[in-house]
Amino acid sequence: MAQGTFHFPRGFLWGTATAAHQVEGNNTNSNWWAWEQEPGRIAQGHTSGLACDWWGGRWREDLDRAAQAGQNAHRLSIEWCRIQPAPDRWDEEALDRYREIMQGMHERNLTPLVTLHHFTLPLWLAEQGSWENEAILLPWEKYVRKVVEALKEYVTLWCPINEPNNLAYHTYILGLWPPGKPSLSSYIRASVNLMRAHALAYRVIHSLQSQARVGSALHYRGFEPARPWFPPDKWMTGALKGAFSDAFMTAMTTGKMPFPFNRRIPEAKGTQDFIGVNYYTFDNVAFNLLRPREFFTRRYYTPGADLSDTGFIANEPLGLYRLLEWGKQFRIPMIITENGVEDADDRIRPRYILEHIHQVWRGVNYNWPIKGYFYWSLVDNFEWERGWTQRFGLWELDIETQARRKRPSADLYAEICRENGISSEMVVKYASQLLPKLFPDV
């Protein structure tokens, strides 16, 4: 049996990721809280409710667990509706609470990576047209300035907007997120305003904090042609990549959002100090004239793929490698800001973690500038329109009692963090079937 360890560079960031609405609880002044109260919006009628009770103080015990498990960073978000519950009012107590959390992270030797907007909006802004309305940019600028001035003592890593591509797609193409308005014109307007908001935040943050590093957190959905020899499959795969995965990156690099947006946003050029990418899986893409609502494609997972509990995610680690290979062309640091799998029984998660982190190591071994990895998520949390039907946490949450129970993968990830790498012993212990694949005999 081959033995060895895939080591990562000193100072590599190992963490988990959370988002405010999904863990804080009782976020009653947001558009998502209102959306949850409408029948049929959330799977099985679920609501976020108390969530993981972080606003009630249980962030302390969860971040204790993260620190004790060898993690040296944590990604989390700030809730705009708590900071600015009304257009003319700032909640200083809420800011103090976030400041306390950041201080608590430093006391636990956890580097904060702070997201300023993770899908939710204050109700008063949602009522004014959300991201469709260009007028959102003025209050956005004031909000960014307020938060950064309050937290800059503790935070230097910033992500203005989580998954702007996914937010626009789920809201204005699929209609699954508030306000649930499928409309191509709304999708384009919102996408352009989200890109402008990112650029605006980038400049505000750097004006307030010279040492800041500001980056994206784009959702990268891998797409591969089902039949590489068939031109229509290749064309449609390229179109999906261009519209979903590439458009925002192109804007941040060149100041232009290409097809289907065809917009010039010159202020967006050069507005990222690192590339943040959220990766979970990829699709095979086949051209199909009978599916106009799906952009004339049939998307499917590879037959026989290792699937998560609900079939929502296929274990496709090679897609993460291809993402990193794509990202290196931009010649700036990269961080995997989310990567994970839903798995209540911890059946697939050990394999998923080991295989995906191994692909990250492959990129690091080629000297690509990969600086960190954040697993989604530290603890089970409210998964948007899918409610509590999906369990991504290293720690299981009982939503009735708020009790946490450690899954075996929590120990695996702790060993990876402490070792700063993956060893053959870990593979034998947690997913022995992967040993010939990750540590083949030579």
Asked if residue 382 has pLDDT above 80, the reply is: yes
Give the model confidence (pLDDT) of 417-437 as tens digits.
999 999 999 999 999 999 999
Give the pLDDT band (50/70/90) at residue 244.
confident
Give which of 159, 13, 63, 108 is closest to 394, Cα–Cα: 63
Asked if residue 90 has pLDDT above 70, the reply is: yes
Q: Is 93 exposed, middle or buried (0-12, 13-18, 19+ CB in 10 A)?
A: exposed
Give the pLDDT band (50/70/90) at residue 83.
very high
How far apart (Å, rounded) are the C-alpha atoms in residues 432 and 438? 10
Give the model confidence (pLDDT) of 331-380 as tens digits.
999 999 999 999 999 999 999 999 999 999 999 999 999 999 999 999 99
Beta carbons within 8 Å of 282's beta carbon, 6+ residues apart: 221, 222, 223, 224, 314, 316, 319, 322
**pLDDT computed for residue 334 by the predictor:** 98
Give the pLDDT band (50/70/90) at residue 292.
confident
Give the pLDDT band (50/70/90) at residue 293.
confident
Give the model confidence (pLDDT) of 109-166 as tens digits.
999 999 999 999 999 999 999 999 999 999 999 999 999 999 999 999 999 999 999 9
Average pLDDT over residues 46-74: 98
**pLDDT computed for residue 143 by the predictor:** 98
Query: Within a 10 A sphere around the Cβ of 86, how many other Cβ atoms?
Result: 12
Q: Kindly report the pTM of this predicted structure.
A: 0.97
Give which of 417, 405, 406, 413 is closest to 431, Cα–Cα: 413
3-state SS record for 156-167: CEEEEEECHHHH
Beta carbons within 8 Å of 153's beta carbon, 6+ residues apart: 99, 102
Give the model confidence (pLDDT) of 92-112 as tens digits.
999 999 999 999 999 999 999
**Residue 337 DSSP label:** E
At 87, which amino acid appears?
P
Q: Which class would CATH give 5-438? A: alpha beta
